[in-house]
Structure 1
């Protein structure tokens, strides 16, 4: 009985912890690059694209399961090439040199975008 109560309490605590975690709270640390900063970089790219005036886009959230090492150089952010065959339009945030670690030397994270409401025309920006 006591074991069952402990398990229930532990599961409740885990659920509360996970419910409070979001992109807004996932900031970079000395070891990892946060999804908040990755989304912000994608947002800067999209703001620049929107300023061109052809089409207007909103940045969505990257996959919440993504975990990447901290980037040692400035991030690069182009449109995701069509050759990647993604089902949805996205930008790709690229780190060409990660801080030294045993997992990966470089990484890229796809951040989906969607057309702002009331926009017409082609779905692809390129």
Structure 2
């Protein structure tokens, strides 16, 4: 019975914690690169692309399950190559040199984008 009560209390605490989490609060720390900063780099790239006057795009949210080490160099962004087989358009945010860690030396995160509706 006590286990059941403890499990219920712990589950409630987890739900409260998850409800307060968002991309906007997922900032970089010394150990990890935040999804907020990754999304912002994708937004900067799309702002530049939209300024070219061709197709207009909006940036969506990166996958909330992504966890990458902090990047030691400035992030780069580019269109995700079609050769990677992704079914929808996305921007690849690239870290060419992560802070030394035991997991990965470099990484990239795909951030989905959608076309803005055409203006009438």
TM-score scaled by structure 2?
0.96
- 1:74 counterpart residue number: 74
Structure with a larger share of its residues in strand: 2
Alpha-carbon distance between aligned partners in 1 of 2:12 and 2:42, rounded to the nearest angstrom: 34
Alpha-carbon distance between aligned partners in 1 of 2:117 and 2:12, rounded to the nearest angstrom: 39
- 1:64 counterpart residue number: 64
The gaps in structure 1 that reach 5 residues or longer are 120-126
Could you list the structure 1 runs, at least 4 aligned residues long, displaced by more than 6 angstroms after superposition: none
Alpha-carbon distance between aligned partners in 1 of 2:92 and 2:7, rounded to the nearest angstrom: 41
Alpha-carbon distance between aligned partners in 2 of 1:63 and 1:12, rounded to the nearest angstrom: 24
TM-score scaled by structure 1?
0.91
- 1:25 counterpart residue number: 25
Q: CA deviation at 1:7?
A: 1.1
The gaps in structure 2 that reach 5 residues or longer are none
Alpha-carbon distance between aligned partners in 1 of 2:6 and 2:101, rounded to the nearest angstrom: 37
Alpha-carbon distance between aligned partners in 2 of 1:3 and 1:34, rounded to the nearest angstrom: 35
Q: CA deviation at 1:5?
A: 1.4
Matched, 1:50 2:47: no
